[in-house]
């Protein structure tokens, strides 16, 4: 589910999308879960015919710049990906009682009527329609500079879980990307 009351036509405007782990828990901290996350993004991107222009997977959240051929496609993509990754994250952290307990506790605090026994993601995701080139450049730079600002890398292309290398070298990696500056 996306935040906000207005429906943005994601078939017309690219969207800057952000979603995070409940309580900003740092779950994307090693290659195994990060690679699984990128593979599942690619699977869902392909399944829902999403054009992905940029992304960064941070320890507690993800930012993406994407669009869909049909209205609501980005929402379906995000819901599918978050659902799949919630299961993978729970499996991965099942042996870590500290994190696993926090996921169980989050259900009690946020989703009292939920039939789930754990809550991994914040309930919704934020999206902002990219309506002009200035905003596009700002969001693309924000995505790629996020790991540097967070102290996870010295420069944008050093961080492995980002599309910055694609814009520098033209190679997509696990996730198929489209250069937003090319027609």
Does residue 130 sit within a domain? yes
Does residue 32 sit within a domain? yes
Does residue 99 sit within a domain? no
DSSP letter string, 107-163 = HHHH-TT-S-S---B-S-BEEEE--SHHHHHHHHHHHHHHHHHTTS-SSGGG-SSBS
Does residue 179 sit within a domain? no
Four-residue CA torsion sign, 56, 57, 63, 69: positive
pLDDT at 116: 65
Does pLDDT of 84 surpass 70? yes
Average pLDDT, the chain: 88
Mean pLDDT of 97-109: 75
Does residue 91 sit within a domain? no
Tokens of 24: 């900003």
Does 38 or 123 have the greater pLDDT score?
A: 38
14, 53 Cβ separation under 8 angstroms: yes
pLDDT at 118: 73
pLDDT at 97: 81
The crossing angle, in degrees rounded to 10, of helices 73-93 and 31-47 is 150
How far apart are alpha carbons 5 and 9 in whole angstroms?
13
Q: Which pTM was predicted?
A: 0.88
Does pLDDT of 6 surpass 70? no
The CB density around residue 138, as the number of other CB atoms within 10 Å, is: 13
93, 29 Cβ separation under 8 angstroms: no
Does residue 175 sit within a domain? no
DSSP letter string, 14-57 = -EEEEEEBGGG-----SHHHHHHHHHHHHHHHHHTTEEEEEEEE
Does pLDDT of 3 surpass 50? no
Query: Where in the sequence is the domain holding 27, given as residue range(s)?
Result: 15-82+121-169
Does residue 110 sit within a domain? no
Mean pLDDT of 107-122: 68
Number of separate domains in the chain? 1
Does residue 9 sit within a domain? no
Classify residue 173 as exposed, middle or buried by CB count within 10 Å of its CB (0-12, 13-18, 19+).
middle
Q: From 85, 87, 91, 46, select the one nearest 69 (Cα to Cα).
A: 46
Does pLDDT of 139 surpass 90? yes
How far apart are alpha carbons 80 and 77 in whole angstroms?
5
Mean pLDDT of 138-154: 98
pLDDT at 2: 42
Does pLDDT of 10 surpass 70? no
What CATH number does the domain containing 21 carry? 3.30.70.1290
Would you call 2 helix, strand, or coil by DSSP?
Answer: strand
């Amino acid at each position: 589910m996306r935040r906000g009351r207005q429906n943005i036509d994601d078939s017309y405007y690219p969207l800057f999308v952000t979603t995070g782990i409940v309580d900003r828990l740092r779950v994307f901290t090693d290659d195994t879960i990060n690679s699984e996350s990128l593979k599942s993004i690619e699977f869902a991107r392909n399944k829902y015919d999403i054009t992905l222009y940029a992304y960064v997977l941070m320890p507690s959240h993800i930012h993406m710049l994407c669009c869909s051929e049909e209205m609501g496609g980005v929402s379906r993509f995000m819901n599918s990906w978050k659902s799949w990754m919630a299961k993978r994250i729970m499996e991965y952290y099942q042996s870590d009682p500290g994190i696993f307990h926090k996921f169980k506790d989050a259900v009690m605090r946020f989703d009292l009527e939920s039939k789930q026994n754990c809550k991994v993601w914040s309930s919704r995701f934020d999206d902002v329609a990219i309506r002009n080139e200035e905003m596009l450049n700002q969001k693309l730079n924000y995505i790629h500079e996020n790991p540097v600002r967070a102290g996870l890398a010295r420069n944008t292309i050093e961080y492995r879980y980002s599309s910055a290398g694609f814009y520098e070298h033209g190679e997509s990696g696990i996730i198929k990307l489209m250069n937003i500056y090319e027609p």
